[in-house]
Structure 1
Amino acid sequence: MLNAILGLACLVLTAASLLVGPADLDLRSSVDGLFAGGDAAAMIIMQEIRLPRALLALTIGVSLGLAGAVLQGLLRNPLAEPGLIGVTSSASFGAVAIFYTGLAGASLYALPAGALAGAALSVVLLLAIAARNGATLTLILAGVALTSLTGALTSLILNLSPNPFASYEIIFWLLGSLRDRSMSHVWLALPLMALGWLLLAASARALDALSLGEEAASSLGIRLSGTRLLVVLGTALAVGAGTAVAGAIGFIGLVVPHLVRPFTDRLPSSLLVPSALGGGALLLGADIAARLVVPTRELNVGVLTALIGAPFFLWLVVRARRELF
């Protein structure tokens, strides 16, 4: 029932996303333009501007929600989210490095390629560090260190950038936005995200076993090192690909699993699909709000998700503190 409700919400919000925009198109013109039956202007607006944006909001939201649920199950930490292991910040650094070197204008794929390279580098470093010690704590500490390092390197590039316009573009991209994306971005990111979803979904049984503790999971035949590899690779592919085309969008992976968990049996595996659908619905809603909150100037969707997620994160910290004491 929960999955059906969230799936319906995704469909409704996807349709709403297709109908919202500065162009004054009525419902009939929008539908005709979407299915290649309208005039040329409506077709361009619907097929080249609004459709890619709606698809990316849905799929990136799915990636963030699913990765957040899996990481919270793997690390057994309610504050875990995709940014915790450094994938988002590493992908952002890769894109910023492309901006700084002036290669961003060489090709449509230069910026996403840089972000994906940054995400891949984070995976290599994480696995190299965590390989010697299989403890979950090692993975968390390595992710925190990697996040701090790539964040510092990104700040250094901003500080050294001689061109103020380039600095503005970098900052704008780091805030996260789905504006001006095309179907080329969809076809670039979607296969990688889909592969990441499959890897993350494959960890479901292991996550249920880990809810009993690492020793119990090992006694049930779960290979903890293999599970961590699946999760890290899946998160890097799903979240890294999304960051590569839309910039850094945070907190969805933190917020959504907590919102849907009370409506499930609380097993990690039963949380995966609702979190994925909830993430898609939340990012679609945030992207619609980004276009409507300030009609004269569109907000970056990453700003809105941070405004939603940061207070929620503080509430989780306060609640955890109360439970401890």
Structure 2
Amino acid sequence: MVKRLILPVVAVLVLLACCLLSLLVGRVWIDPAVLADGLTTPRTDLAWLILFELRVPRTVLALLVGGSLGLSGAVLQGLLRNPLADPGLLGVTAGASLGAVIAIYFGLSASVALVTPVLGIIGAVLAAALTLAIGRNGTLTMILAGAAVSGLMGAGLSLALNFAPSPYAAYEITSWLLGSLADRGWDQVLLALPFMLAGWACLIATMRDLDALTLGEVQAESLGVNLGRTRLLALAGTALAVGSATAVCGSIGFIGLMAPHLVRPFVGHEPRRVLLPAAFVGALLLLVADIAARLIPSSLELKLGVLTSLAGTPFFFWLVLRLRRMAPS
């Protein structure tokens, strides 16, 4: 019993340490004494404003976005029974990106900043609905539909870049697509949180059905699983959680792929045991990546999506090679 508690306790302590480090590091380093004073006595000096208006919401958003990506990845891998599945597979990420880029392209984000995440969420929901409408007849059909929707949304992104009204608009679109938590505040947190909570509820509701799906679709249906309902919950949850995450911070890849695989050696391969630990590890991974993006010396802060891709691509190759070795010859 004691051994089972050691790992969760260590994981929570690591997460708390990373949260503390995230509050302190950046272009302006915050003295820990300022952090301690600010928790007890609100102040108005520059350090306090940087801490509570920039660092705290950035840390909270990293945890929310990473948790959403990790949880969605675990659910999709269980639903599709595909170890390489992640939220980008079904077109949700590309749909959210296209929605936000439309706001930037037409200059809507310049007048009202929150238009960008709102259109991003709408784009994610529409992409998920299109994937579900086309791929409702089976797992393979849904994967192919997701690939087609991703391609369609990607074409829209390329079109927006090609016809960008000015070099500045093209730069803004490109910068946003690379993904970042820099300069995000409480407005973004409060906008994304309700959609994320609704998405998490949908994703967690699939827990029992995902366990049954490990036996196969026919066997799961014989146990009373409504596959149409399960697919709808998984896709709707992914659209709400990952769509809102992408809408406020841009496209961030590989977290949803890596997090479930990192927790399975410790919790087993039953999908219901993977979901919440994957959300926890996803939050931790993204927070660590965001801290690293701030610590790497450069004239401009490294974009978060670039860093997760650099770390995630070797993991993806390792996973493919591992699956190839395990596959029957």
Query: Which TM class, normalised by the smaller chain length?
Result: over 0.9
2:263 counterpart residue number = 260
**Ranges of 4+ aligned residues in structure 1 off by more than 4 Å:** none
| Aligned with residue 26 of structure 1, among 31, 48, 53 | 31
| Corresponding residue to 1:235 among 223, 234, 238 | 238
Question: What RMSD, in angstroms, separates the aligned Cα atoms of the two structures?
Answer: 1.4
1:318 aligns with 2:321: yes
Of residues 199, 206, 210, the one that matches 1:207 is 210
Of 160, 163, 167, the residue aligned with 1:164 is 167
Judged with a 3 Å threshold, the aligned counterparts in structure 2 of structure 1 residues 54 and 211 are, in CA distance, closer, same or farther, namely same
Deviation at residue 36 of structure 1 after TM alignment: 4.5
The aligned residue for residue 183 of structure 1 is 186
Q: How has the CA–CA distance of structure 1 residues 152 and 233 changed in structure 2, closer, same or farther, with 3 Å as cutoff?
A: same
d(CA) in 2 for partners of 1:206, 1:35: 46
CA contact (8 A) 2:135 2:143 kept: no
Q: Distance in 1 between matches of 2:172 and 2:298?
A: 22
Structure 1: any 5+ residue segments left out of the alignment? none
Q: Residue 243 of structure 1: CA displacement?
A: 0.5
Return the offset for 1:323.
2.7
Distance of 1:37 and 1:136 partners within structure 2: 53
Q: Give how far 1:34 is off.
A: 4.8
Residue number among 106, 116, 129 corresponding to 1:124 in the alignment: 129
TM-score by length of 2: 0.95
Structure 1 Cα separation of the partners of residues 159 and 167 of structure 2:
14
Residues 35 and 226 from structure 1, CA distance in 2 versus in 1: closer, same or farther, beyond 3 angstroms? Answer: farther
Deviation for aligned residue 1:21: 1.6
- Partners of 1:306 and 1:255 in 2: CA distance: 11
Counterpart residue type for residue 11 of structure 1: L
Residue aligning to 2:56: 51
Aligned partner of 1:150 in structure 2 is: 153
Distance 1:163 1:36 in 2: 47
Q: Given that residues 14 and 58 in structure 1 are in contact (C-alpha distance below 8 angstroms), is that contact kept between their aligned partners in structure 2?
A: no
Percent sequence identity over matched residues? 54
Tell me the SS of whatever aligns to 1:105: helix
For the structure 1 residues 4 and 206, does the alpha-carbon distance in structure 2 shift closer, same or farther, using more than 3 Å as the test?
Answer: farther
1:238-249 to structure 2, matched below 5 A, reads 238-249=241-252
TM-score when scaled to structure 1?
0.96
Report how far residue 118 of structure 1 moved.
0.6
Query: What is aligned with 1:84?
Result: 89
Q: Could you say what secondary structure the match of 1:297 adopts? A: coil
Rounded to whole Å, the distance in 2 between the matches of 1:70 and 1:35 is: 40
Q: What is the aligned length?
A: 323
Give the counterpart letter for 2:110 in structure 1: G
Greater Cα offset, 287-296 or 220-229: 287-296
